Amino acid sequence: MVRDVRMRGFADRADLEEVEAFLDRHVRTLPSESVPLLDCFERVLSEPIKSEVDVPSFPRSAMDGYALRGEETFGASDYDGIRFDVIGTSLPGAPFLSRVAPGQAVRIMTGAPVPEGADVVVMAEVCEESEGGEAVLVSEAVPPKKNVGVVGEDIQRGDLILSPGRRLRPQDAGVLASVGRASIPCVRRPKVRLLVTGDELLPAGSMPGGVHIVDSNSVVLRGLLARDGAEVLPFEILPDVPEMIRGVMAANDSDVVLVSGGSSVGQEDHAPRLLAELGTLDFHGISMRPSSPAGIGRIEERFVFLLPGNPVSCLAAYEFFAGPTLRRLGGRSGRWPHRRVRLPLARKIVSSIGRTDYVRVAIEDKMVRPIATSGASILSSTVRASGAVIVPREQEGMGEGEEVEVLLYDDELGSSEFDQKEKVESP
């Protein structure tokens, strides 16, 4: 077979919105799995959780003090204390086992069961225990139920505690623990196969040298994948050899395949053809900048994203297409996860109608400054940037002074101690 090594440009590029609509139609939340309680933080709940128990399951003291009958303290004051016989002690996990009769009190600690017969805990600060510990003088009237946590005060049996779709916070996991759950039904995390291609690439951790560069895309992708709750399968860098790329692409062991590099129409760009052969290449070439040579397709149930090798393109193509897909597979929102701010532009942004632009910007003095280097190969531009502005397809650009929305790369803008120190020390 004669290999066709001619290069063809993109005949026709799809609009970003077409790709998004396609993903909307095809992406479904993955099925549920049972997750050990201690691993459920940040996982997405797949079923409603109701409590099978009351918390607390016993009347519980909210104070260190004395458990007794509240009505018997009526009339007590600083000048006229009321005396009770102390008949024992109730500690957390070690209750006082008999009943408190009229005129009696039980010494009690926070979290300990309130003994039968008692209906209040009088706090230690308004009590004075006799030297031998056989009696206590109460100098304040306490209304019934005071300082007693009733059964189910926190959670009642049958209560709906958490609803499906919830991304579990640390305190959610805590509540699940307190109602006795050991395993939690969660949406399965999407499994991702990274397919990093390029004859010029050295594995991350190597020193670049000669004509070789270090694979940075997989490092960036791993960070983004961790943020988006995906599970990354082990991978190796592949040379631009079609048979090898095909082998990995065909493996039925993931929900999403991310191909880095070789996505365009160059001589060594095999991924689009291989995807079309193994499944469908639903889109190839998108009206956007950077990332226009991106591709999207499917092989059976798997989504395959062809991410251009240029580092900024790779990042942008991930953020626009792969990220939302992975989050939705994992039961999260497809929205961009970045915090946003609206600020005026210090300089205009030039784009063109019909193309969506992903513009790296710096924020300085509450103004948004587009970063001059627009080249998709300049990864350091994303390090200098505070975030990105998306110029929609129907806009020709954005004018100086116009208020724009910035998707921030960081949750907090320059608020760390390190940043402050830098500011103080700089002239």
* Chain residues that interact with ligand AMP, rule: CB under 6 A: 196, 198, 200-201, 213, 215-217, 260-264, 266, 308-311, 377
Least separation in angstroms between CB 198 and ligand AMP: 4
Among the residue ranges 40-48, 198-206, 365-373, 375-383, the one whose residues contact Mg ion (CB under 5 A): 198-206
Full 3-state SS string of the chain: CCCCCCCCCCCCCECHHHHHHHHHHHCCCCCEEEEEHHHCCCCEECCCEECCCCECCCCEECCCEEEECHHHHCCCCCCCCEEEEEEEEEECCECCCCCCCCCEEEEECCCCECCCCCCEEEEHHHEEECCCCCEEEECCCCCCCCCEECCCCCECCCCEEECCCCECCHHHHHHHHHCCCCEEEEECCCEEEEEEECCCEECCCCCCECCEEECCHHHHHHHHHHHCCCEECCCCCECCCHHHHHHHHHCCCCCEEEEECCCCCCCCCCHHHHHHHHCEEEEECECEECCCCCEEEEECCEEEEEECCCHHHHHHHHHHHHHHHHHHHCCCCCCCCCCEEEEEECCCEECCCCCEEEEEEEEECCEEEECCCCCCCCCHHHHHCCEEEEECCCCCEECCCCEEEEEECCCCCCCCHHHHHHHHHCC
Least separation in angstroms between CB 309 and Mg ion: 5
Minimum CB distance to ligand AMP smaller for 77 or for 380: 380
Query: Binding partner of residue 217 among ligand AMP, Mg ion, none, CB under 5 to 8 Å per kind?
Result: ligand AMP
Minimum CB distance to ligand AMP smaller for 190 or for 261: 261
Among the residue ranges 207-215, 255-263, 333-341, 403-411, the one whose residues contact Mg ion (CB under 5 A): 255-263
Within 10 A of 401 (CB to CB), how many other CB atoms are there?
11
Is the separation of the CB atoms in 323 and 393 below 8 Å? no
Minimum CB distance to Mg ion smaller for 198 or for 229: 198
Burial of 88 (0-12, 13-18, 19+ CB in 10 A): middle
Least separation in angstroms between CB 241 and Mg ion: 12
Minimum CB distance to Mg ion smaller for 249 or for 390: 249
Minimum CB distance to Mg ion smaller for 184 or for 271: 271
Say if strands 256-260 and 191-196 run parallel, antiparallel, or are unpaired.
Answer: parallel
Minimum CB distance to ligand AMP smaller for 112 or for 225: 225
Least separation in angstroms between CB 426 and Mg ion: 40
Query: Binding partner of residue 279 among ligand AMP, Mg ion, none, CB under 5 to 8 Å per kind?
Result: none
Query: Binding partner of residue 266 among Mg ion, ligand AMP, none, CB under 5 to 8 Å per kind?
Result: ligand AMP
Q: Does 261 bind Mg ion (CB under 5 A)?
A: yes
Least separation in angstroms between CB 6 and Mg ion: 17
Using CB under 5 A, which of 95, 262, 272, 324 touches Mg ion?
262
User: Which residue is nearest to ligand AMP, using beta carbons?
Assistant: 309
Within 10 A of 64 (CB to CB), how many other CB atoms are there?
17
Least separation in angstroms between CB 221 and ligand AMP: 9
Minimum CB distance to Mg ion smaller for 144 or for 266: 266
Query: Binding partner of residue 215 among ligand AMP, Mg ion, none, CB under 5 to 8 Å per kind?
Result: ligand AMP
- d(CA 339, CA 345) in angstroms, rounded, equals 18
Query: Binding partner of residue 149 among ligand AMP, Mg ion, none, CB under 5 to 8 Å per kind?
Result: none
User: Which residue is nearest to Mg ion, using beta carbons?
Assistant: 261
Closest CA to 286 of 14, 21, 11: 14
Using CB under 5 A, which of 115, 198, 370, 387 touches Mg ion?
198
Kindly write out the interface string for residues 343-382 of this chain, putting x where it contacts Mg ion by CB under 5 A and - elsewhere. Answer: ----------------------------------------
Least separation in angstroms between CB 383 and ligand AMP: 14
- Count of residues interacting with Mg ion (CB under 5 A): 4
Minimum CB distance to ligand AMP smaller for 85 or for 200: 200
Minimum CB distance to Mg ion smaller for 204 or for 362: 204
Query: Binding partner of residue 308 among Mg ion, ligand AMP, none, CB under 5 to 8 Å per kind?
Result: ligand AMP
Least separation in angstroms between CB 268 and ligand AMP: 7
Residue 56 preceded by cis peptide, ω within 30: yes
